[in-house]
């Protein structure tokens, strides 16, 4: 009964977000800064057939997202619907990813709901930034790896999604590298020469071609960014400041931003990572924490471990991405973190399903969405409700235990 109530509420909330943003998208024109300055002009440049003749230093960025945007322009679809479609695709891909990790239909739905209603997603629904599409291609790439077989078709699908991912943004090669390293054994066990060729071709055409173009035109595959021996466009040298510097030098900026964009999920994920790390590092020492048999089974599962390492490595990768020492820019930088927190939040759902405590997550994810839905947005309210919920449920479980012993 409670599960049905939560499911109904989540469908209503998700429908409201999508319908309202579709209406806003149809009635409004693009205004977001990066969209107007970079994404839309690049899409128009592509429509003019000038992919090999970028008309500004910003047009040298990989432009798969802008090709999609160009299709919107060509079909005369409101550009403010660009990321609404991305959010729908993100929901669908996250649902199938959760199913692949053996979550039930209800838990898969709520996982997809939780990702799609993160503030880091919702705030960009009527803009043309391409980070939500990058998240879609990332999830699909992970799914393609998990579904990999010796059939050439599976390598073709993997090559397409890795190509789309590489061709979306300069942060993508980092996330692709981590994916390939972590799942190399899976890839290698199904790899042969013909499969390599089949997978490489779409990756080259859709993804690596942008970097090759830049290397030929301006001697820097990552132009306008400087990188290692490659010189960039000096006024656009954004790599002088990294997100880890914000964490070290402006920790309140970082903490406020992560709570604003990721909410209580960030606390749960880092607690899980800490528990796992202490047990992994100090297996036979005093560092090792006592865990129930259920937790041991979960933490020793190879699929769970790979997902946890994926989160940890992606988070470390996220920390080296560029930002600016301004709070609004730090918050904006968290849109790069979707490949980090998608596997992280999936970890939470896997654990809670094993413990049969999914209702807690249902309740908290709905609360998080409602806090965003009802203005003004006060993200710390969600953290407060999260802590109160933990206390209440702990007391209830304690009382149940005591009652069961006395009866």
**pLDDT tens track for 316-368:** 999 999 888 888 889 999 999 999 999 999 999 998 898 888 888 898 899 88
DSSP class of 169 = -
pLDDT for residue 75 is more than 90: yes
Instruction: Give the tokens for residue 306.
Output: 């790979």
Task: Assess contact for 393 and 359: CB atoms under 8 A.
Answer: no
Q: Between these two residues, 189 and 282, which has the higher pLDDT value?
A: 189
- Its sign, for the CA torsion 117, 119, 125, 131, is negative
**pLDDT tens track for 243-289:** 999 999 999 999 999 998 998 898 888 888 777 766 665 554 444 45
Task: Assess contact for 57 and 223: CB atoms under 8 A.
Answer: yes
Instruction: Give the tokens for residue 264.
Output: 């209580």
C-beta neighbour count of 395 within 10 angstroms: 10
Question: How far is Cα 165 from Cα 353, in angstroms, rounded to an integer?
Answer: 30
Q: How confident is the model at residue 397 (pLDDT cuts 50, 70, 90)?
A: low
3-state secondary structure of 322: strand
pTM of the shown model: 0.91
| Long-range Cβ pairs for the range 298-307 (8 Å, 24+) | 298/350, 298/351, 298/354, 303/101, 304/347, 304/350, 306/182, 306/183, 307/101, 307/343, 307/346, 307/347, 307/350
At 147 the pLDDT is 95
β-pair partners for 230: 227
3-state secondary structure of 342: helix
Alpha carbon distance, N-terminus to C-terminus of the chain? 26
- Which run of H or E residues covers position 278? helix 265-281
State how far the alpha carbon of 71 is from the alpha carbons of 14, 46, 77, in Å: 26, 10, 8
pLDDT for residue 401 is more than 80: no
- Which run of H or E residues covers position 297? helix 293-299
């Amino acid at each position: 009964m409670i599960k049905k109530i939560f499911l109904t509420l989540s469908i209503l909330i998700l429908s409201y977000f999508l319908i309202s943003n579709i209406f806003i998208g149809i009635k409004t024109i693009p205004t977001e800064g990066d969209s107007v300055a970079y994404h839309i002009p690049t899409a128009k440049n592509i429509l003019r057939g000038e992919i090999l003749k970028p008309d500004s230093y910003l047009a040298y960025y990989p432009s798969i997202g802008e090709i999609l945007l160009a299709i919107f322009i060509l079909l005369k679809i409101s550009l403010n619907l660009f990321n609404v479609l991305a959010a729908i695709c993100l929901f669908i891909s996250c649902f199938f990813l959760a199913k692949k990790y053996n979550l039930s239909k209800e838990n898969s739905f709520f996982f997809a709901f939780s990702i799609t209603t993160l503030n880091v997603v919702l705030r960009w629904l009527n803009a043309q930034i391409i980070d939500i599409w990058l998240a879609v291609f990332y999830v699909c790439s992970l799914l393609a790896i998990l579904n990999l077989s010796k059939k050439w078709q599976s390598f073709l699908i993997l090559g397409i999604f890795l190509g789309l991912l590489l061709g979306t943004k300069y942060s993508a090669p980092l996330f692709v590298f981590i994916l390939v390293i972590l799942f190399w054994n899976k890839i290698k066990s199904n790899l042969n020469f013909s499969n390599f060729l089949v997978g490489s071709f779409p990756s080259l055409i859709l993804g690596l071609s942008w970097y090759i173009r830049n290397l030929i035109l301006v001697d820097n595959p990552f132009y306008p960014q400087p990188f290692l021996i490659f010189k960039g466009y000096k006024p656009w040298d954004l790599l002088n400041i990294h997100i880890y510097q914000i964490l070290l030098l402006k920790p309140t900026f970082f903490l406020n931003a992560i709570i604003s964009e990721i909410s209580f999920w960030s606390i749960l994920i880092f607690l899980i990572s800490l528990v796992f790390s202490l047990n992994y590092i100090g297996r036979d020492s005093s560092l090792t924490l006592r865990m129930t048999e259920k937790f041991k089974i979960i933490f020793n599962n190879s699929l769970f471990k790979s997902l946890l390492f994926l989160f940890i490595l992606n988070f470390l990768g996220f920390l080296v991405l560029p930002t600016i020492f301004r709070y609004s820019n730090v918050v904006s930088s968290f849109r790069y973190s979707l490949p980090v927190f998608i596997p992280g939040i999936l970890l939470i759902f896997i654990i809670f399903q094993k413990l049969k405590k999914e209702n807690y997550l249902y309740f908290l994810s709905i609360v998080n969405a409602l806090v965003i839905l009802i203005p003004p947005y006060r993200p710390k309210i969600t953290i407060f409700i999260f802590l109160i919920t933990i206390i209440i449920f702990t007391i209830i479980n304690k009382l149940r235990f005591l009652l069961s012993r006395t009866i």
